[in-house]
Amino acid sequence: RRAASLVPEGTVGEDVAPVPSSSADTGLGEGQDYKRVLARLHGIIAKVQDAQLRAASGPVQDVLPVSIIADQEWGSLVRVCMREEDAAAAELAVDLMKRSGASVSEESINHVLAFYAERGDVPRAETFMANALGASPTETQRDLHIKAHLRAAAPKTIPEQALSVLHNYELQSTPAPMSSYSRLIAALFS
């Protein structure tokens, strides 16, 4: 089974700024290898979750976490997906991380969120944030959220949605970083 069939259609991105890679990233990406890895991980995690459900219904109800791949390998998989400009696959990798019990790094979330912010794809950015974030967004994630709204605004207009999101963060006592304010001020004067 192909990983592409596991994610909604139309969620593959276009161009993105280069994603830094590490030595662990080598070998993946060529010939859609990362999609085969994602499909295999999806199948493994489904089987592990099924076994855990069956075990939880038995006499012993303690379920031990199962490490499928190392946290660094999950991060590498997300970086490869983003290098291939495949945000849907990166989202799937983050979802599989969560389902497997692995810790989802802020860096992995930020790579995907930056992809959507750069394109002004607010619906996908907000859906991803809702699905991927367990707590309130970090400063960088708030900045990327505001950036997505700013990029989505029509040129030569007041970015009202971006301003509204900024104000909502302020009301929650989680202000955005100065880069958000600078970006919005520049947009207001252009």
pLDDT at 8 over 80: no
**Residue 114 and residue 168 in one domain:** no
- Residue 15 forms part of a structural domain: yes
Q: Is the pLDDT of residue 94 over 80?
A: yes
Say if CB 59 and CB 66 are below 8 A apart: no
Q: What is the mean pLDDT of the chain?
A: 83
70, 91, 123 — which closes off a domain?
123
**pTM of this prediction?**
0.76
For residue 130, tell me if it sits in a domain: no
Domain assignment present for 63: yes
Q: Are residues 66 and 2 in the same domain?
A: yes
Q: Which residue has the higher pLDDT, 41 or 7?
A: 41
Query: Where does a domain end: 123, 155, 170?
Result: 123
Residue 128 lies in a domain: no
More confident residue, 78 or 21: 78
Together in a domain, 67 and 102? yes
Same-domain status, 46 and 114: yes
Q: For residue 88, is pLDDT > 70? A: yes
Is 117 in the same domain as 171? no
Per-residue confidence (pLDDT) for residue 132, from 0 to 100: 94
Domain that holds residue 161: 135-190
Same domain assignment for residues 9 and 87: yes
117 & 149 share domain: no
**Band of the pLDDT at 65, cuts 50, 70, 90?**
low
Q: How far apart are CA 132 and CA 120, in angstroms?
A: 19
* Residue 143, in any domain of the structure: yes
Nearest to 16 by CA among 97, 90, 74, 73: 90
Question: Is 129 contained in some domain?
Answer: no
Shared-domain flag, residues 71 and 26: yes
Q: What is the DSSP letter of 29?
A: S
Residue 178 lies in a domain: yes
First to last CA, the chain: 49
User: Are 151 and 95 found together in one domain?
Assistant: no
DSSP label of 63: -
